[in-house]
Amino acid sequence: MSTVMDSAATPTASTPTTPGDRVPAPRGRVAHTRRRHGAGFWAVAFAFLAVMAFATVPAPLYVLYQARDGFPTFTTTIVFAAYGVGVVGSLWLAGHLSDVHGRKPLLLVSIALELVAAVLFLVWNDVSGLIVARFVTGLGIGTLTATATAHLGELRVRATGDPRSAKSASIAAGVVNLGGLSLGALIGGALAEFVGAPLMVPYAVFVVLLVVSFIAVLAAPETVDRPEDRVPYRPQRVQAPAGKSAAFWAAGVAAFAAFAVQGLFTSVAPTFLGTTFHVTDRLAAGATTFGVFAASALSQLVFARLSQRAQIRLGMVLLVGGLLVLAGAAVVLQVAGFIGGGVVAGAGVGLIFRAAIGSAGALAAPGQRGGVLAAVFLIAYAGLTVPVVAVGAALLVLPTLPVLIGYVVLVSALTVVAGIRLAARA
């Protein structure tokens, strides 16, 4: 099996007719192929953005569900954990299958799963329905992330004919991933604040966007040649490519720490705003999550020209410094500091996450890239889920403030350890 993502995929070399006789390949055909793959890049990027945005639409709405049904904060973390379990399970079972079966089929399955989840939110919105809908959402995200990241890189290289353009595609994938997460929270909060039926309209809007995404991906080119011989199925293995264990685990732990910060702002941060700062505005809750994820996406663009080592070091400073500001603001009850610290930490998350994914992707040959990325995303989404569930459990027996400070200390320590190791190998 071979993944087609290098310049040979868009031939500029000559095409043989008879032995010893070659004629140039038609330039029009090459140009058409590159235009088609360029359009496919934007189609996949749009679908990636829409699916990731859908994943965070419920973030500012949890408070509404909680007020309506009267469940405790721990239930919110269980609903959120269902999403994480879905992501991790999907990554383990199917995150690597695009290396064998192609990028498009896995992307289409992912979008279809998100459509199912959107319908579930519309027709079954009690607590049990929320858990099921979030689990299905996670299944789709797990199928999507590594597949779309690999597909964007391959489409970009085929569109330009330059293997070096894979780096810019990696930046674009990171921006789309985190930018989509930021937009979803903002859209969910804005629709809930200004439009009637706040627990219905956001999901109806995304049904339309996901249908458009499905059609767009249908028109995108495939970039993987399926193997002639049947490849036996096996679940994703969380293991490094041969001889690259240290670099792989450095990337994985860094991704875990980065997503632990994101998990805080997509699950219980709106509850902290409501209980600690008495901010119950739905748009404010969505805007807070938006700010954190938008900073994550923007930092990757602003600091793209820095070396990877410099990005990692700056990311460590921003992430840890932002978390410390956030914790200090919670102690003195300064909501602006809480939100601002989250935004600064989010900027650090973007740089750490980008470095982790870029480092992991560089470890693998094209035919193994989807599997290696799926393994790193599997570790990352464990960071999104496990610490948040621990926070929810701790809130059952401890006050909010000590739990938040403990979370900040642990995530900061993990970030420093992982960042130092990742920077040493950059």
- The domain locations on the chain are 29-222+243-424
Distance CA 260, CA 410 (A): 10
* Whole-angstrom distance, CA of residue 349 vs CA of residue 328: 19
Q: Is the pLDDT of residue 281 over 80?
A: no
| SS3 sequence of 226-254 | CCCCCCCCCCCCCCCCCCCHHHHHHHHHH
pLDDT band at 1 (very low <50, low <70, confident <90, very high): very low
Backbone angles phi and psi of 362, in degrees to 5: -75, -10
Q: Which residues pair with 22 in a beta bridge?
A: 16
Taking CA atoms, 194 is separated from 6, 18, 367, in Å, by: 48, 69, 47
Rounded Cα–Cα distance for residues 255 and 377 (Å): 8
In the block, residue with structure tokens 């419920």: 58
CB 81 within 8 A of CB 383: no
Averaged pLDDT, 158-172:
85
Name which residue leads in pLDDT, 245 or 243: 245
Q: pLDDT (tens digit, 9 = 90+) per residue, 375-422?
A: 888 888 888 888 878 888 888 888 888 988 999 999 999 999 989 988
pLDDT of 25 above 60: no
Q: Cα–Cα distance between 184 and 267 in angstroms, integer?
A: 14
- Is the predicted pLDDT of residue 206 greater than 90, yes or no? yes
pLDDT at residue number 26:
64
Spelled out in words, what is the top-level CATH class assigned to the domain 29-222+243-424?
mainly alpha
The CA distance from 79 to 377, in Å, is: 20
Residue 365 — pLDDT band, cuts 50, 70, 90?
confident
DSSP annotation string for 105-126: HHHHHHHHHHHHHHHHHHH--S
Global pTM reads 0.77
Q: Tell me, what's the pLDDT at 303? A: 92
Q: What percent of the chain has pLDDT over 70?
A: 91
> What was the pLDDT predicted at 167?
77
Give the least confident one: 219-228, 266-275, 349-358: 266-275
**Residue 199's closest CA among 56, 64, 54?**
64
Q: In the predicted model, what is the mean pLDDT of the chain?
A: 85
